[in-house]
């Protein structure tokens, strides 16, 4: 079973344009899709699609349409006391797949809301193969919320994955090794934010990405999966480093692609695959998601790890 926490969930509205986005102009919209989202929620969707049970912890009212939709999708949604209504995020997608995201901050939480989320995770973590802490933190949450929760989860029997950015990511790294998860999944720009490097350069240079990821492994993180957009992904563990190149993909929407990649790695670990095979499955899931509209999560029969090329990177970590 895979347990997920999405502390700042959203209704994801994807607006698909007929042409390039032009600021200040009136443009024709081809379609609008609303989906209950958030990084952890997306991973729970992928898990259910792969026939692995999943519990999704989210701050929401029990009768919120967001919760009802997740339950109808087969996700064991466990709502906890929210600070306010679920926010809406808007993604504007152009024909070439370029996506502009407008994310609202959501309601401001207090200590009681954070405690309810942490307790809901801690009480279920022991029966979970993986616990995934994912997404931004709501307004009012301390940057170290994830770092503290990872430390509390150590020794509970669950493997822990964290996917976040900005101050929560920096706080997680600052608290290493006590906060070291079993998996971190930054993208190139998030990795650059930790080092002051150039995100575009890191995403174009797998060796540079792997070298920076190796510094996190040396601080206790068991595995670092760095997604590099069209350049695939890099995986670094104490056993070595690998780069995977995705198959040719017609990009429709990049929203949710990173979440799908994280799930692909977790699925590979659950299946007992070795590191190169986990990386191939991660990249295959990410590229399949990029070829689907909105935050649509690929089904297993849409994922082709056999088309992913994996190469070992020598001399790392």
Task: Report, as residue numbers or ranges, the catalytic residues.
Answer: 259
Dig out the tokens for 61 from the structure. 């009212």
- Residue pair 192/199 in contact (Cβ under 8 Å)? The answer is yes
């Amino acid at each position: 079973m895979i347990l997920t926490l999405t502390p700042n969930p959203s209704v994801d509205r994807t607006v698909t344009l007929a042409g390039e986005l032009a600021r200040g102009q009136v443009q024709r919209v081809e379609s609008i899709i609303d989906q209950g989202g958030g990084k952890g929620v997306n991973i729970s969707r992928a898990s259910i699609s792969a026939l692995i049970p999943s519990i999704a912890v989210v701050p929401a009212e029990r009768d919120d349409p967001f919760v009802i939709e997740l339950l109808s999708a087969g996700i064991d949604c466990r709502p906890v006391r929210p600070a306010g209504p679920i926010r809406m995020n808007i993604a504007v997608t152009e024909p070439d797949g370029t996506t502009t995201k407008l994310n609202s901050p959501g309601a401001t939480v207090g200590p009681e809301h954070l405690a309810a989320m942490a307790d809901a995770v801690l009480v279920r973590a022991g029966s979970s193969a993986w616990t995934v802490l994912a997404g931004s933190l709501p307004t009012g949450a301390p940057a170290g919320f994830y770092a503290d929760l990872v430390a509390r989860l150590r020794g509970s029997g669950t493997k822990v994955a964290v996917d976040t950015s900005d101050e929560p990511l920096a706080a997680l790294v600052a608290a290493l090794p006590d906060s070291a998860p079993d998996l971190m999944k930054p993208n190139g720009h998030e990795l650059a934010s930790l080092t002051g490097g150039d995100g575009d350069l890191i995403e174009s240079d797998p060796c540079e990405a792997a070298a920076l990821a190796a510094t996190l492994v040396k601080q206790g993180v068991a595995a670092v999966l760095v997604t590099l957009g069209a350049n695939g992904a890099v995986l670094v563990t104490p056993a070595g480093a690998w780069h995977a190149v995705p198959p040719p993909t017609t990009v429709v929407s990049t929203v949710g692609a990173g979440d799908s990649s994280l799930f692909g790695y977790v699925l590979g670990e659950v299946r007992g695959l070795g590191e190169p095979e986990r990386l191939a499955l991660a990249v295959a899931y990410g590229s399949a998601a990029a070829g689907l509209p909105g935050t649509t999560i690929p089904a297993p029969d849409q994922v082709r790890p056999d088309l992913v090329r994996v190469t070992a990177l020598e001399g790392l970590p």
